[in-house]
Structure 1
Amino acid sequence: MHILANITSVDPDILHDDTCEVSVGDHPFVTKESYVAYEYAIERHKNFVDRQAQLKVYKPHKAASTALVDRICEGIKKSKFTPRAVKDCYDATVRAAAKKNKNN
């Protein structure tokens, strides 16, 4: 499973989830102050994501830095807006990775 979350521009007139704010320079895609909109995070199977990429619904961008990915992942657990199913999916993925690393 993959967890998909939007990185959304900050509108100074609207409250936003400040769990994981993303600044200009954190990633080339980000051109103004932004944040991860955890409330809209969804889980999707790899085949779905691959198909959307083939159809060009999802457009590739440069890979995010490890530091940015770590901040986004930490926010999945910290944000009060992350849907329970997404938090559960993340927990299961972390447990599976730990088990795999232990067996190697």
Structure 2
Amino acid sequence: MLAPARESDNGYRSFSESDALRLQTISALRAVGFGLEQIKSMIDKLDRGDSATVHHDLELQRMAVAAKWVEGKYAIDMLDELIGRLEAKGRLDAADCSS
């Protein structure tokens, strides 16, 4: 996804500001859960000027992350409830775990 230039005298890679921005984009997409193939596809779309499709993909990922957050919040709330019941009674009954 990066194609840095090579220094002619020593063969070292030379990264431009554009390369740095691309790497930052790749890192951000990776951090929010996109896989490498998805990222490559999105970068290709951005390079072709297809920001509408990338926008759509980002919105879909946001919805997926939000759904996971809601599930996690529910699990935390349930755990807090169970901890409270355990602390209050010193034990958990079957009825406590069926809520």
Q: Normalised by the size of structure 2, how large is the TM-score?
A: 0.32
The higher relative CO (CA closer than 8 Å, separation ≥ 6) is in 1
Higher strand proportion (structure 1 or 2):
1
Which of the pair has more CA radius of gyration?
2
Q: Normalised by the size of structure 1, how large is the TM-score?
A: 0.31
Higher helix proportion (structure 1 or 2):
2
